[in-house]
Structures are given as structure tokens and as C-alpha cells.
A and B are shown apart, each in its own frame.
Chain A
Amino acid sequence: MSWLEKIIPSKVQWGGERRRSVPEGIWTKCPSCGSTLYREELERNSDVCPKCDHHMRIGARRRLDIFLDAEGREEIAATMKPVDRLKFKDSKKYADRMVASQKATGENDALLAMSGSLKGLPVVAVAFEFKFMGGSMGSVVGEKFCRAAEVAMEKGCPLVCFSASGGARMQEALFSLMQMAKTSSVLARMSDRGLPFISVLTDPTMGGVSASFAMLGDLNVAEPNALIGFAGPRVIEQTVRETLPEGFQRSEFLLEHGAIDQIIHRGEMRDELATILSILMKSNAA
């Protein structure tokens, strides 16, 4: 128990609810080191724990907000919404899950796309909303990604993608799987035109997203300690019946095995990518 919890009566402090379910609170606890953090300070630090450097998961809108220049942003395919073609129902209806996620996140689906600039250099950027059904990729995510790439091709500018996804969305079944092929195909077109695609892998990037566009960057970069892989650690453990090595499927592990180019701290992401892109685009803007 921290000193703060000791001096404030528990009822007053948390109202009997778990803190993490109250995102608007003044205080928040780091899920990694357990330090109690002042929310405003945490936000100033791009939701990276000032004590232990843990990169917390952040929403799509916030992600693009801290990445793009403030001026000249334009959302791409803002009104695009998912459709339950299969009338999928497990313990809950897909249609209900969709609506619940839309209410909870304020987003129509799990991907947000914007054109804008990065330190004056024109870019298109997309980011996953992990809280929307685990950032899963269905038709809307696939289509929006392709639209974003098409906008980048029209403008002749780079595309940057911030992934955070559990993989393909089961509720859209084979349509989800086909989004892997669709997004990879559009990247092949972008590559032919000599336009850079930078894939930023954030915690977590798994399954169908990692096995398609997220691993196809001209540069693949990751935030520190993000879980990145094809199969989930639990599935692997059940298959091989071995304990997984320390740090398995984390950013540092991927860097060591040659899967990614760099690990970039969230606080330096803007500066680093601006420099990298300006070199690739042979521009002096950044």
C-alpha cells in the first residue's frame, strides 16, 4: 500500500471501485511497477510511467494526437462502419458487441486513419483502437487501411501504422482473413511506387495483423517491451509443452532475432520517425 492509500480512507479514495475502471481519476497506478501516478503528469509523459518507463496502452485518437502536427489533420473514412453479414452469434451477438465497443470507445471500429503532417512532412497515419474488440481486424479495419494507403499514394507521401491488435476478428470469419491479403496487396502497390511504409508495433500486435501489414514495413519499429508475435504465448505453451524463454515475443526479443529495425521510446517517436522519413523522402522538412 502506498503512502497515499494509507492516509486517504478507502471509501473516499476509490468509491469501492477498482481504480483502473475510473480513467478520469486524478491518480492512476502503473500496471507494471505499481507506483501511484499523478494522471496529468502521466499524460504529459505520453502515458509512459515516469518511474519504470512502462509504455501503457493508449487509444487510437490519443496516439495520432501525440504523433501528428496539430495543424491540417483530416480523418479518412470517418463514417465507415462494420456490418454483421454473417449474423454471428456466440455467447453474445456480434451486433451487440459492436455497439458496446462503439459506445465504450467513441469509435466506429478498431482503426483510425488520418492524413496530416509530421514536422511539416506530409504523412498518412493510422492507429488501432485496442479497446474496440481487442483491436481485431475485420472488414472495416482492412478497408480503412487500404483507403489510407491510397490517400498516401495520391499524395505521394509515406504511411505510418501504429498496430495494437489481437489479430483477425473471428466474428467476421473468412472476411477477416481476407483482409490480410487485401492490406498486403495494397502495400505491394505502395512499395512499387517507392513510397515508404513504417510499421510501428505496439503492445500487443498478434495473429493476423502481425502476419500481414504490421510486418511489412520498410522499417518495422516497436515500442519497448511490446508483445509481438504470430501465435499467442498460451497457444505456444500448450503446443510445445515447454516454459517460454524470458522476454519471449517482446520487442527486445524481436530486435535480437532480426525481425525489427529499432525500438523507439514513445517520447521520441515523433522526432525519430520525422528524421527517418525525411531521409527516405529526401526532404529537409523535418
Chain B
Amino acid sequence: MDLNFLDFEQPIAELEAKIDALKHVGSDSQLNIHEEIQQLERKSEALTQKIFSNLSDWQISQLSRHPQRPYTLDYISRIFTDFKELHGDRAFADDKAIVGGIARLDGQSVMVIGQQKGRETKEKIRRNFGMPRPEGYRKALRLMKMAERFKMPILTFIDTPGAYPGIDAEERGQSEAIARNLFEMSKLSVPVVCTVIGEGGSGGALAIGVGDKTLMLQYTTYSVISPEGCASILWKSAEKASEAAKALGITATRLQDLGLIDDIIPEPLGGAHRNMDAAASSLKQALVKSLNELANIPDAQRADKRHERLMQYGNFVE
């Protein structure tokens, strides 16, 4: 079993392995092997299409944290030019679980901020699995205020299991750090576009997620609690995660239907991890489009419009 593929991706993995093997044999240049490869590739594509046309919420949740999925820095290097990473909250430390800095998007100056996961074990630990501590959120806020000062749009990339639940994080005011960002982001006078690129894990995600537009890549999730967490509390068993995922309605399509997000960014066949360049170009298109739309709003009205939008969220009767 290939660990870089999820269990429902295994049939694709097997076909891909065969294709790879044939390609090696194929160097002996026999004509029919080339044809064989093409046939297998068509078959793999059809199979991928079939599997991906009917994904369950739980499968999408697994895709959103696929070990091969592109992370914030993967997108930054493909979408922006002149990215200069800026470090530290100026008070305590530089949290590696959040990266940020200035860059250009098609020549336009922007501030980019996102949670960052690691791919190899060492890097995963250095990035704390994408779980920020208070200093990470405070660094993000520092950069947002800087962006406001220099009138640069802010683009945030959400990809976290949640804010770090640790002793040190609590000591340094995890709650306050998140709350402060919500408070300040609601007032920013520059355009803010927030995109979920992987896992949108609760308050830890929202802490860089208050903006004028919320976008989600096709196979990402955004939720008040992880399906496993929800299942273990409400169903008293983490095994019920797939049921919880469905009940919570955490996918992009569901959240768009509920009016909680603005747009869904299509991913290449088989998910962003199968073709990072294509995923990045799709994301870039969506960002440019969003910024163009937001450019028409006068700066003085931005915060009011954002506030009005937030005030609409909720269901109740009187």
C-alpha cells in the first residue's frame, strides 16, 4: 500500500505504479508498449474521474489533509513574485506554523499570510503540524496592520487542524490572540481575501479568516470542530467521524449552499496534490478576480461592508 495515497485512491495508485513500471521497461522502445501506456493512462484518468465524481464528505475531509497536498509556501512560490518572508511577533517569538510576508501578485504589492504545515517528520515538528501558538497569530496581526499602513491588500491561506492546544499556548493567551485578530480584522481598511487551501480547523482557522471574501479550494473543509473531535464528544466514539463530517456540513459545496463562503476554486483532476502547478494557477485566477472585484469599493466603506456581511451569519426566529 502506497502511504502517499489515501485508501480510496489506492486503485489509482496501483494503475499509476503499473504505468511507471511500463515506462521503465519501455526504454527498450517496443512500439506496443507506448500504446499500452497510453491506454493505461486513459484508464487511470477515467478511474480518477469516477472516484472523484462521487466523494463523500469524509473522503473530502481526508483529501483536505492529504500528506501530498500543497501547503501555503507551495502556493506562494507558484503564484507570487518577490516574496519576502517577515518573521516574529516583536514580543515573544517567530511561530513557524504561520508564515507571512510581502510579495507581488502580477506586479501588485500584497501581504500574504498563511498557516504552514511540514511534509517530512522534522519539518512537521518545526511547523508544529500547522497549529499556531499565540505568537503566530500576533505575527499575522502585525503584518496585517502593516499592510493597512501601506495600503496593500491582504491574502490569507487557511490550512490548520486548529490553534495549538498546549500549556505554553494557554499561558501566553491563545484565546486573546485569536479574539484580537477577529476584532482587528473586522476593522481593516484594505481588501482581505481568505482562502481555505486545506483544513479549516475552527477558531485557529478563523483567526486569519475574517475578510471581504472567503474562498475554498474544491477539496477542502471548514468546520467548527474536526469530524473526529465532534464524533468523540457527541457520538462518544471517534470512529463515527464520517457521520460527524456529514452532519457538520464541512465541504465547500455545502458551505456555499448555506451562504457561508463566496466561491469554490476548482482543483485539477484527482485533487491539488496531483498537479500543484495547475492548482496554483486556478487559485491565482480566483485571487486576481476577487481583488479586482474588491478594488471598486472605497476604502472608507470596506470595514462597514465587512461588518454587515458578518452580521448576516446566523439562523433564528423571533
The chain A residues found within 8 Å of chain B, CB to CB, are: 77, 79-83, 85-86, 88-91, 139-140, 142-143, 146, 168, 170, 172-182, 184-189, 191-192, 207-208, 210-216, 228-232, 235-236, 239-240, 242, 244-245, 248-249, 257-259
Q: Per a CB cutoff under 8 Å, which of B164, B203, B236 touches A208?
A: B203
Q: A174-B223, A184-B186, A230-B174 are in contact. Are A86 and B247 (CB under 8 A)?
A: yes
Query: CA of A191 to CA of B303 in the docked complex: distance in angstroms?
Result: 14
Q: A178-B314, A185-B183, A188-B183 known; A86 and B249 CB under 8 Å?
A: yes
* Residue interface bits B193-228, CB-to-A below 8 A is 1, else 0: 000000000110011011000000000001111000
5 interchain residue pairs of minimum CB distance: A231-B165, A139-B314, A185-B186, A184-B182, A90-B234
Contact (Cβ within 8 A) A249 B170: yes
B311 touches A211 (CB 8 A): no
- A240 and B131 CA atoms in complex are apart in Å by 13
- Name which residue of chain B comes closest to A109, CB basis: B316
* Other A-B pairs beyond A185-B306, A212-B178, 17, CB < 8 Å: A80-B317, A82-B316, A88-B247, A88-B248, A140-B314, A173-B250, A175-B314, A177-B223, A178-B260, A181-B182, A211-B207, A213-B179, A214-B175, A215-B173, A216-B180, A216-B183, A230-B203
Q: Does B23 contact A (CB under 8 A)?
A: no
- For A236, the chain B residues whose CB sits under 8 A away are 165-167, 170
What is the CA–CA distance of A189 and B184 in the complex, to the nearest angstrom?
Answer: 10
Q: B residues within 8 A CB of A213?
A: 179
Give the Cβ gap from B187 to chain A, nearest Cβ, in Å.
5
> For residue A234, which residue of chain B has the nearest CB?
B165
| B314 x A174 contact (CB < 8 A) | no
For A191, list chain B residues within 8 Å (CB): 183
Cα distance, A142 to B206, chains bound together (Å): 16
Chain B residue contacts of A179, Cβ below 8 A: 313-314
Flag if A83 contacts B176 (CB, 8 Å): no
Residues on B with C-beta less than 8 A from A235 are: 165
Whether A215 pairs with B175 at a CB distance below 8 angstroms is yes
Does residue B171 face the partner (Cβ distance < 8 Å to A)?
yes
Given A231-B170, A257-B171: A212 and B179 interface contact (C-beta under 8 Å): yes
B8 contacts partner chain A, Cβ-Cβ < 8 Å = no
A-B contact list, 16 entries, CB within 8 Å: A86-B247, A90-B235, A172-B224, A173-B249, A181-B185, A185-B182, A211-B207, A212-B179, A212-B182, A214-B175, A229-B170, A230-B175, A232-B165, A236-B166, A244-B167, A257-B173
**Which residue on A lies nearest to B304, using beta carbons?**
A189
> Are B230 and A178 in touch, CB under 8 angstroms?
no
With a CB–CB cut-off of 8 A, which chain A residues contact B314?
Answer: 139-140, 142-143, 175, 178-179, 182
Q: How far is the CB of B22 from chain A (nearest CB, A)?
A: 46
| Bound-state Cα–Cα, A103 to B168, Å | 41
Least distance between A177 CB and chain B CB atoms (Å): 4
Q: Are A173 and B223 in contact (CB under 8 A)?
A: yes
Q: Decide if B121 is an interface residue (CB 8 Å cutoff).
A: no
Binding site for A on B (CB under 8 A): 163-167, 169-176, 178-180, 182-187, 202-203, 206-207, 209-210, 222-225, 230, 233-236, 243-244, 247-250, 255, 258, 260, 306-307, 310-311, 313-318
Is the CB–CB distance between B170 and A230 below 8 Å?
Answer: yes
Tell me if B203 and A207 are in contact (CB < 8 A): yes
B196 to chain A, nearest CB (A): 11
Give the distance in Å from the alpha carbon of A143 to the alpha carbon of B268 in the complex. 39
**Which residues from chain B contact A175 at a C-beta distance below 8 Å?**
258, 260, 313-315
A240 in contact with B167 given A143-B316, A180-B206, A185-B183 (CB within 8 Å): yes
Known: A236-B170, A257-B173. A174 touches B249 (CB 8 A): yes
Decide if B311 touches A146 in the complex (CB within 8 Å). Answer: yes
B233 touches A170 (CB 8 A): yes
Given the known A-B contacts A91-B234, A140-B316, A185-B306, are A173 and B224 also in contact in the complex, defined by CB atoms under 8 Å? yes
Nearest residue (CB) in A for B210 is A181
The answer to whether B318 and A174 have CB atoms under 8 Å apart is no
Residue of A177, A249, A257 near B224 (CB, 8 A) is A177
